[in-house]
């Protein structure tokens, strides 16, 4: 066998062609990996922008129901220190109205809100507690993680008497918040309180139930809340105009007396996250996950076209088509930062389909074949779009589609003599 005949045999070998296509598919993962890295980089930049917006507007909101704190100064061996004893509410009602909206830093967005808060409740004091000791200071303490987020302090009333004292920063066993100092002469065995204020925060509003019975009513204009924490709402109504939610928490194991070891468990909270549904980078990342499937199906389609129409495509032509398919994800990422994902997908897919179909009109020797190629890619991208939007059902739909495509390929190639393909007649 001469050198020329060996060379021609290798060129016409179906096994060599399949091997080359497999190598090209692997090589296509390099630009796709770069696109994934770019998505993560832009996502990181978005997170930094959201963090910066939160610093300026207000961090995550975290609020606890009011607590009566009795503070006494103890002198021991010329050393002075303060001892704090707390009495938690027997019942507390928390009403919150969230006015949520988006804020932007450059092209990046974050969800922020203003919250109008009303706290009402009762603190019952045991007979053993002394409320007339002049050495003691009495405070109504409201746990709040971000003091600087308070925008307006409304009315504060104790036993139907409105107080004029201004609140002050306060902490109990490292739990931060603000407190209103109370006059011990006006205290009774039952303290009824009503406190109103507003704050600005971002991302989520978290509540910590510190009363034996806590009721929380929350209303907002945000249409896509995500309820978080250890307690889900007892009732909730979600619509395009916003949501309403109601919680009732009973803690029967809570003691009714004074507690000198009062500590707020930051993880024992519940509330709502002002969730931006499927942000741009999450959807882009989901779309890139199907890139391998698109390239495999595309290359398999062109390979079968070679077999059925007796055409020959050079590996370099496969490479150009592969790079075109990879460019789709770069276009999608860049356009979706300025337009909605739906428009970005439509524009990116249209550009790539037009590019590949016009190229194939020449490469496949007929304009009609190029149009058919464009139609097939339109169906393929349309199906990928449905998979991305389906979310929960995407795995089932994808599995069924792969089974259908595999069955179709097996049916179309069932009579091909693979050993005879590429042999000279």
| Beta-strand relationship, 235-239 and 204-208 | unpaired
Nearest residue to 232 (alpha-carbon basis) of 247, 213, 217, 242? 247
Q: Which two tokens stand for residue 153?
A: 């302090």
* Full residue range of the structural domain in which residue 322 is found: 11-44+281-412
- State yes or no: pLDDT of 287 exceeds 50: yes
Residue 148: count other Cβ atoms within 10 Å of its Cβ. Answer: 10
- 269, two tokens: 């909270």
pLDDT digits 0-9 by tens, 59-102: 888 888 888 888 877 666 666 677 778 888 889 999 999 999 88
The reply to whether 300 falls in a domain is yes
pLDDT at 18 over 90: no
Find out whether 147 and 176 touch, Cβ atoms under 8 Å.
Answer: yes
Last residue of a domain, one of 226, 249, 276: 276
Mean pLDDT of 373-386: 90
Q: How confident is the model at residue 179 (pLDDT cuts 50, 70, 90)?
A: confident
pLDDT(364) > 70: yes
Asked if residue 179 and residue 33 are part of one domain, the reply reads no
- The answer to whether residue 292 sits within a structural domain is yes
At which of 276, 302, 337 does a domain end? 276
Mean pLDDT of 20-26: 88
Per the listing, tokens 């194939």 go with: 360
Judge if 265 and 339 occupy the same domain. Answer: no
Same domain, 96 and 200: yes
Is residue 250 located within the same domain as residue 121?
yes
In a domain, 256, yes or no: yes
219 and 253 share one domain: yes
**CATH classification at residue 238:** 2.60.40
Q: Are the C-beta atoms of residues 68 and 139 closer than 8 Å to each other?
A: yes
Among the listed residues 139, 100, 120, 128, the one whose alpha carbon sits nearest the alpha carbon of residue 276: 100
Residue 254 is encoded by which pair of tokens?
A: 């809570």
Q: In this predicted model, which residue has the larger pLDDT, 101 or 175?
A: 101
Residue 111 has pLDDT above 60, yes or no: yes
Name the more confident of 132 and 26: 26
Nearest one of 270, 26, 50, 61 to 150, comparing CA atoms: 61
Phi and psi at residue 18, to the nearest 5°: -65, -40
Residue 112 CA: distances (Å) to CA of 101, 109, 115, 127, 401: 6, 10, 10, 45, 41
Which residues are bridge partners to 97 per DSSP?
A: 116, 219
DSSP code string of 252-298: TT--SS-BS-----TTS-EEEEE--TT-HHHHHHHHHTTHHHHHHHH
Give the domain-ending residue among 276, 299, 331: 276
> What does the pLDDT look like over 381-393, one tens digit per residue?
998 898 888 767 7
What total of structural domains would you count in the chain? 2
Least confident residue range of 180-194, 199-213, 250-264, 376-390:
250-264
Mean pLDDT of 408-412: 82
pLDDT at 15 exceeding the cut of 80: no
Confidence band, pLDDT 50/70/90 cuts, at residue 12 = low
pLDDT for res 73:
72
How far is 102 from 279, CA to CA, in rounded Å? 13
Q: Is the pLDDT of residue 160 over 90?
A: no
Band (pLDDT 50/70/90 cuts) for residue 117 is very high
Residue 2: inside a domain: no
- pLDDT greater at residue 421 or residue 362: 362
Is position 1 within any domain?
no
CA 275 – CA 112 distance, rounded (Å): 10
The mean pLDDT of 143-168, rounded to a whole number, is 83
> What mean pLDDT, rounded, does the chain reach?
83
Asked if residue 143 and residue 80 are part of one domain, the reply reads yes
Q: What angle do CA 413, 419, 420 make, to 5 degrees?
A: 85
Residues 183, 306, single domain; the answer is: no
Does 115 lie in the same domain as 192?
yes
- Does residue 224 form part of some domain? yes
Residue 88 sits in the same domain as residue 232: yes
Percent of all residues in the chain with a pLDDT value above 90, rounded to a whole number? 23
pLDDT of residue 6: 44
Q: Is the pLDDT reported for residue 422 higher than 60?
A: no
Taking the C-alpha atoms of residue 102 and residue 8, their distance in angstroms, rounded to an integer, is: 64
Residue 405 resides in a domain:
yes
What distance in Å separates the CA atoms of residue 258 and residue 312, rounded to the nearest whole number?
A: 87
User: Strands 213-220, 91-105: parallel, antiparallel or unpaired by DSSP?
Assistant: parallel
**Is 425 within a domain?**
no
Extract the tokens encoding 272: 């709502």
Which whole number is the average pLDDT over 251-277? 67
Verify that 222 and 295 share a domain, yes or no.
Answer: no
How far is residue 209's CA from residue 255's CA, in Å, rounded to a whole number? 14
Is the pLDDT at 20 greater than 80, yes or no?
Answer: yes
Q: Report d(CA 385, CA 404) in Å as an integer.
A: 18
Q: What is the pTM of this model?
A: 0.74
- Same domain, yes or no: 213 and 315: no
Q: What is the per-residue pLDDT for 414?
A: 80
- 268 and 399 in a single domain? The answer is no
Task: Determine the pLDDT at residue 256.
Answer: 45
Cα–Cα distance for residue pair 82/293, rounded to 1 Å: 67
The pLDDT-based confidence of 375 (bands split at 50, 70, 90) is: very high
Residue 186 has a pLDDT of 67
d(CA 253, CA 124) in angstroms, rounded, equals 16
């Amino acid at each position: 066998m001469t050198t020329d005949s060996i060379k021609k045999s290798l060129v016409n070998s179906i096994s060599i062609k399949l091997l080359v296509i497999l190598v090209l598919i692997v090589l296509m993962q390099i630009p796709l990996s770069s696109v994934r890295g770019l998505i993560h980089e832009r996502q990181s930049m978005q997170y930094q922008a959201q963090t910066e917006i939160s610093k300026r507007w207000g961090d995550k909101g975290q609020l606890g129901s009011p607590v009566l704190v009795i503070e006494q100064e103890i002198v021991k061996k010329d050393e002075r220190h303060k001892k704090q004893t707390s009495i938690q509410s027997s019942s507390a009602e928390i009403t919150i109205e969230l006015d949520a909206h988006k804020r932007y830093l450059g092209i990046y967005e974050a969800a922020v809100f203003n919250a109008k808060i009303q706290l009402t409740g009762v603190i019952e004091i045991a007979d053993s507690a002394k409320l007339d000791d002049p050495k003691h200071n009495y405070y109504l303490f409201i746990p709040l993680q971000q003091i600087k987020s308070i925008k307006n302090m409304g009315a504060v009333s104790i036993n139907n008497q409105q107080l004029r004292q201004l609140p002050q920063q306060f902490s109990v066993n490292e739990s931060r918040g603000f407190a209103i100092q109370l006059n011990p002469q006006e205290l009774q065995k039952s303290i009824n309180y009503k406190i109103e204020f507003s704050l600005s925060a971002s991302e989520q509003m978290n509540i910590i139930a510190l009363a034996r019975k806590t009721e929380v009513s929350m209303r907002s204009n945000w249409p896509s809340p995500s309820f978080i924490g250890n307690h889900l709402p007892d009732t909730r109504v979600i619509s395009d105009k916003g949501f309403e939610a109601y919680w009732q928490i009973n803690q029967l194991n809570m003691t009714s007396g004074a507690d000198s070891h009062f500590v707020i468990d930051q993880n024992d909270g519940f509330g709502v996250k002002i969730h931006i549904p499927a942000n741009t980078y999450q959807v882009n990342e989901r779309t890139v996950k199907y890139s391998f499937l698109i390239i495999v199906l595309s290359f398999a389609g062109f390979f079968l076209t070679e077999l059925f129409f007796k055409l020959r495509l050079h590996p370099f032509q496969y490479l150009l088509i592969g790079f075109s398919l990879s460019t789709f994800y770069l276009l999608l990422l860049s356009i979706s930062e300025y337009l909605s994902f739906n428009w970005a997908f439509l524009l990116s897919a249209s550009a790539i389909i037009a590019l590949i179909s016009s190229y194939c009109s020449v490469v496949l020797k007929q304009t009609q074949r190029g149009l058919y190629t464009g139609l097939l890619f339109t169906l393929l991208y349309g199906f990928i779009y449905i998979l991305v939007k389906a979310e929960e059902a995407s795995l089932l739909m994808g599995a069924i589609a792969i089974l259908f495509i595999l069955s179709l390929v097996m049916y179309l190639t069932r009579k091909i003599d693979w050993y005879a393909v590429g042999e000279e007649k």
